[in-house]
Amino acid sequence: MTKEYRAKIFKSGNSLALRLPKALGLKEGTEMVVREDHGEFRFEPVEKPKAKIDVSGFWGKAPWLKLPPRQDFEERQLDWEGKKLKPDE
């Protein structure tokens, strides 16, 4: 069964506005599409475009691209077995 809500149109500046009940669960700032069909109005949230980024295939896509070595990174060995390592080991 669908729920029915009442809303009131009011003047806001030079426009008309429709105050919707909080019970609808809409968030402030949500962009809506309003459709009019033979005097009936329907509204729904604007669909945001879905992200189409697949980062799993980035490595190796541009083999001609050579990056300079990083100057702010010092490579070091990690102590996986609890042994003390010297800086040059």
Report the pLDDT averaged over residues 19-26: 86
For residue 61, being part of any structural domain is answered with: no
Indicate the number of domains in the chain: 1
The C-alpha atoms of residue 9 and residue 51 are separated, in whole angstroms, by 36
For residue 87, being part of any structural domain is answered with: no
For residue 81, being part of any structural domain is answered with: no
For residue 60, being part of any structural domain is answered with: no
pLDDT digits (tens, 9 = 90+) for 50-75: 777 766 666 667 777 777 777 777 77
Q: Count of CB atoms within 10 A of residue 26's CB?
A: 13
Report the pLDDT averaged over residues 83-89: 59
Cα 4 to Cα 1, 20, 22, 42, 61, distances in angstroms: 10, 12, 13, 14, 54
Q: What's the whole-model pTM score?
A: 0.42
